[in-house]
Structure 1
């Protein structure tokens, strides 16, 4: 099991990234929250990982905090929740925000996440109420996670918007919905990460 990687960030295009660890390039899929915390290219970063082996693929998932990784791992234990949905959940809200929705029984709030219908939301609330305190015993009383994001953009506005749409598609949003979410922020000079974060925030409001 690969639990952590420390290396140079050599590629990033949400949700994919690559780390150069002593000359070996590791391809990873990261949550959007982790993307907000990434340094510039060619800078060193430490990421907590979860390795999943399937018949058709071997995927390393990356997280900037152990709490986020533990939430991802706990979500995988819920019936009907696979890696794609789990990654979308930890991308769409912080660990604390998810815990609050579960504690409050907020079905409507959870159904705003891509791929989460009413039955899945109800199942998440029922199963995660008991599992969250055990998986994340230090969660109570923690402040909500907030990352500092570089709002400067690199590349043409059209390219940045297409990259943001691609990232939202990878999280499970439908093409028309992803395009609509990004188009609301067109021509504002925002980075891809900011557009994605704003889109996710709007979808949950």
Structure 2
């Protein structure tokens, strides 16, 4: 099983890139978000998922672990195959998907090529009923904090962010405030981190 590919782009297609790894070209199916970022001969690194069928082996590529996890979850929904799952990921951001499910707005999904009203409604219902969105939010929170802090976030940072999110504060502002507090105070306990966070976010 191939988990990651690093190499050069040797070819770009409408829904795939060919990644040259040591002289071997791997066809990797990617979303439009990935394909539009690269040109031939660019260096590329992709997180990958191999799908094995009776008469076919396909490799799908992702920019982040969140996209890969969401892709695998979409495959559990009736009527969603690998190509369509990749199209969904390319058509909506993670934030848009979370918002669409939380507000039960299936119109965002119907804008995606290949997704009709019935499938859009099923996507919203199943994503919400399986509580995957909560898991997706947790993964995204960890990734957002890691990008800002620059290291693997400590459990107390994730706990503090969870409390502040539940209090209704803006996600992006929370990330920056937590980074500011950690930079200034270092090893601060959870209760104090939350108190300072509320103070700064309410200012």
- Aligning the two structures, in what range does the TM-score lie when normalised by the shorter sequence? 0.5 to 0.7
Q: List structure 1 runs of 4+ shifted beyond 4 angstroms.
A: 140-143
Given that 1:70 and 1:136 are in contact with CA atoms closer than 8 Å, whether structure 2 keeps it comes out as: no
CA distance in 1: counterparts of 2:142 and 2:57, whole angstroms: 36
Q: SS at 1:88's partner residue?
A: helix
Whole-angstrom distance in 1 between the partners of 2:9 and 2:53: 26
Offset, 1:135 = 4.5
The equivalent of 2:25 in structure 1 is: 25
Q: 1:66 corresponds to which residue? A: 65
CA RMSD of aligned residues (A): 2.0
Q: In structure 1, how many angstroms separate the alpha carbons of the residues matched to 2:69 and 2:37?
A: 18
Please list the CA deviations of residues 129-171 of structure 1 after superposition, one character each: whole Å capped at 9, or x if unmatched: 211322552325988xxxxxxxxxxxxxxxxxxxxxxxxxxxx
CA contact (8 A) 1:6 1:47 kept: yes
Question: What's the CA shift for 1:26?
Answer: 0.6
Q: Distance in 1 between matches of 2:121 and 2:15?
A: 27
How far apart are 1:119 and its partner, in Å? 2.1
> What are the residue-to-residue correspondences of 1:15-164 with 2, within 5 Å?
15-38=15-38, 40-129=39-128, 130-135=131-136, 137-140=138-141
- Select the structure that is richer in helix: 2
SS in 2 for 1:105: coil
Post-superposition offset of 1:99: 1.7
Partners of 2:8 and 2:143 in 1: CA distance: 30
**Aligned counterparts of 2:137 and 2:32: Cα–Cα separation in 1:** 20
Gap runs ≥5 in structure 2 = 145-203
Greater relative CO (CA pairs within 8 A, separation 6+): 1
Match of 1:182 in 2: none
Native 8 Å contact 2:66 2:139 kept in 1:
no
Is the contact made by 1:48 and 1:62 (CA closer than 8 Å) also made in structure 2? Answer: yes
Aligned residues of 1:19 and 1:27 also touching (Cα < 8 A): yes
Instruction: Give 1:21 deviation, angstroms.
Output: 0.8
Q: 1: distance between equivalents of 2:82 and 2:70?
A: 12
Q: TM-score normalised to the size of structure 1?
A: 0.63
Aligned length: 142
Structure 1 spans left out of the alignment, 5+ residues: 144-205
